[in-house]
Chains A and B, each alone.
Chain A
Amino acid sequence: MSGDMNCGRLREIGAELALGVLPGRERAEAVAHLDRCANCREYVRQLTLVGDRLIGLLPEREPPPGFETRAARLPARQAPAHEAPAGAADRAFRHLRGRARRARLRLAAVATALTVAVGFAGWGIGTAVEEVLASSAPAAESELMLVGDMTSTVGGETVGEVYAHPGTPGWIFVSVGLTGPHASYTGKVTCLLEHADGRIVRVGDFTLNGGRGEWGVAAPGDLSTLSGARLTMPDGTVLATAHLQKGQVVEPEK
């Protein structure tokens, strides 16, 4: 098994990739190919659409009574521990919620990796890949990921997320939606990365539009020693900071 992925090979596994059932290693090779091949990218995009449409054929079902009220409970925004009040079924919920949260990190991170690498649209493929990761063997497939919430330097609220994936190449993804005094800020921000040894590295600039922006970039160098990230305005004002923690691409529990 060589790491060679050409168009012919990609066409063989594109359907599995699009449906999110391609095992991790092959997936990585396929994604690397898509990164440089627009034709295959379009091919997989179409297949992803087919997968989405297939799910769309499933019939609607009326949820149990009371679901609407339970589901519409908005989380206290930015409160990390917003677990619902106790109740009979709540332990189950809580359990699932914990899983969902980890899955969320996985989802966002992996989907982002793909979008950054591949640069094409479609929800299916990113989430699909999450499934693959969820199914893969823990030891063999764990991917180191650094994650952290962006916290506003003004109010302390969570205003975004940072993901860093050490690798070759490594990549960084920042998603931010500022609140408070900078909520309407439109303009350039600089992203700085902090390493555990105190080094601070400027990784690049991007634009916020009305306080919001998403940005991904391939980042050279060793990202595994990252400890934090911060966003600054051109005048040096620090808008938000994040502590990065190591996370693995987690397995669902038994």
Chain B
Amino acid sequence: MIFRGGRAGGRAIPWRPSSVYRGVSGFRSPVDRLPDEALLSGLATGDPELAVVFVRRFQRRVFGVAMAVTGDEQLAEDVAQSTFERAWRHAQIYDSRRGSVTTWLTTIAHNLAVDAVRARRTEPMAPEDLDAVIGVVTETPEQWALADETAAQLRAAVARLPREQARALVMAGIYGMTAQQIADAERIPLGTAKTRIRAAMAKLRTTLASPKRGDHVR
């Protein structure tokens, strides 16, 4: 048995509902400064003010993921809405040891988006869509590079991938396509599709694992 009881209790978050942090409902209340996790655990109390702050903090991230995957504003909005609903429902059992709130939310959004697209998409991925996503994922505006070095490294690593590997990576990792679906879309053997996914992921993993930028990832 691996689970232990009371995992939520392991979080040491200095937050107490309806005391210190509840500010006057002002333009920028002290609630805005709550750490993500505290905000999330506060949601379990059903406080609508916290919900607004929470949505405000994460909506661009969530909607961005939904848009990238669905390419459809209405569908993306539905997905984003569902993402927050799920967050409300699971606020109580969120476990910070399993990842940041941002990662948690984007994973939910991604997951719902892939699901939503799957339910309706009949056409294979349009090549120009794919190229656009690769472009977006690899571009490195300077301010981003400064803000998050790891992300910058990862972008660069994706940019260095052979094009066919980058395509396979995006199809699997962002659009949630199986190796078989990728093989069909690219008209390549299944084994080739699998190899491309694996090779791409191996290189990215090496990039993230090496403390300095491993320029020579095989």
Contact = CB atoms under 8 A, between A and B. Distances in A.
Chains A and B belong together in one complex: yes
Interface of A: 12-16, 18-23, 46-47, 49-64, 67-75, 77, 89, 92-93, 96-97, 99-100, 103-104, 107-108, 115-119, 121-124, 127-128, 130-132, 134-135, 173, 175, 177, 186, 206-210, 212-218, 252-254
Interface residues on B, range: 35 or more
Contact of B5 (A71, A124, A207, A254): A207
B208 A213 contact: no
A14 B154 CA distance: 19
Contacts of A14: 198, 201
Given A54-B154, A99-B115, A63 B59 contact: yes
A123 B59 contact: no
12 contacts: A16-B178, A19-B173, A47-B205, A54-B174, A72-B54, A74-B46, A75-B88, A99-B115, A186-B6, A207-B4, A215-B3, A252-B119
Contacts of A128: 111
A210 B60 CA distance: 34
Contact of A216 (B1, B89, B110, B194): B1
A50 B106 contact: no
A19 B194 CA distance: 12
A252 B121 CA distance: 12
Interface centre among B4, B8, B76, B111 (most CB of A within 10 A): B111
A81 to B, nearest CB: 14
A134 B46 contact: no
Contacts of B93: 175, 177, 214
B6 A208 contact: yes
A57 B114 CA distance: 16
A46 B97 contact: no
Nearest to B2: A119
Interface string B112-142: 1011101100000000000000001100000
A121 B2 CA distance: 12
Given A50-B208, A53-B154, A58-B65, 6 more contacts: A14-B198, A15-B202, A60-B61, A63-B62, A214-B3, A252-B115
Interface centre among B6, B43, B55 (most CB of A within 10 A): B6
Contact of A122 (B99, B119, B178): B99
A96 B72 CA distance: 15
A17 to B, nearest CB: 10
Contacts of A73: 51
B5 A206 contact: yes
A63 B60 contact: yes
A55 B112 contact: no
Contacts of A13: 194, 198
B107 A104 contact: no
A20 to B, nearest CB: 7
A124 B79 CA distance: 17
A254 B118 CA distance: 9
A131 B176 contact: yes
Given A21-B178, A212-B6, A63 B88 contact: no
